[in-house]
Amino acid sequence: MSATVKPTAQVDDRATLGSGTTVWELAQVRENATLGEQCIVGRGAYIGSGVQIGDRVKIQNHALVYEPAQVADGVFIGPAAVLTNDEFPRAVAPDGSLKSGADWTPVGVTIDEGASIGARAVCVAPVRIGAWALVAAGAVVTKDVPPHALVVGVPARRIAWVGRAGRPLDDQGDGTFTCPETGETYRETDGRLALA
C-alpha cells in the first residue's frame, strides 16, 4: 500500500513517506523528512526539514513539528501542538540585520515511543518526552519528562503516572501502581516508573 497525499498538501520530492501514511489537506512535509508506515498528518500540519517520524504516528491538525525533532513509533501529537527548535529566538542580529538560517543552531524535541502531546501544548527544545508519557493540553514543557509521567501546567510538572493505555495509574501505596484498564503493574524507583 502506498502513501496518500491529498491534493492541496505539499510534500517535498525528497521526503520519504511510509506505506499507508496519509497527508491531509494543506499540510506541508519538508525536504528530507522521513515518516514511517501508517502515519496520519492532519490538515494544516507542518513537518520540518529532516524530521524523523516513526510508524503509526498521529500528527493532528495544525501541529508544528520543527526540525530536528525525532518522533518514535506510536506517538500522538495533538491539534495545534508545537515542537520548537530555537533556544534564543530573534528575527534580527544585535546590529539590526535580518538573521538567516546560518545564524543559529537548531535544537530538537525528542519524543519516545507511545507518548502523547495534548492539544496546544508547547515543547520547548531541547527536551525529551519519555516513553508513554502524557503531556496535558495547553502545557508548556521546559524540561525532560520521564517515561509514564502525566505533566500539566505552565511550566509543566508531573501530577501522576500513566500506563500504556494513557489512564492515570492507581497507587497501591507500596511503590507499585496498577492500570485500571489493562491491570498491568508498574513500580516506581528513584522517581522513575517501569513495568514490574
Answering whether pTM is above 0.85, one says yes
Which of these, 117, 115, 119, lies nearest to 61 by C-alpha position?
119
Q: What is the mean pLDDT of residues 59-71?
A: 98
DSSP assignment of 30-84 = -TT-EE-TT-EE-TT-EE-TT-EE-SS-EE-TT-EE-TT-EE-TT-EE-TT-EE-
Q: Is 183's pLDDT higher than 90?
A: yes
pLDDT band at 102, cuts 50/70/90?
A: confident
Question: Mean pLDDT for the chain?
Answer: 96
Which overall architecture, per CATH, does domain 4-163 show? 3 Solenoid (2.160)
Q: Is the pLDDT of residue 103 over 90?
A: no
What confidence score (pLDDT) does residue 104 get?
85
pLDDT of residue 2: 93
pLDDT tops 90 at residue 3: yes
Domain borders along the chain are 4-163
pLDDT digits (tens, 9 = 90+) for 5-36: 999 999 999 999 999 999 999 999 999 999 99
The mean pLDDT of 173-194, rounded to a whole number, is 94
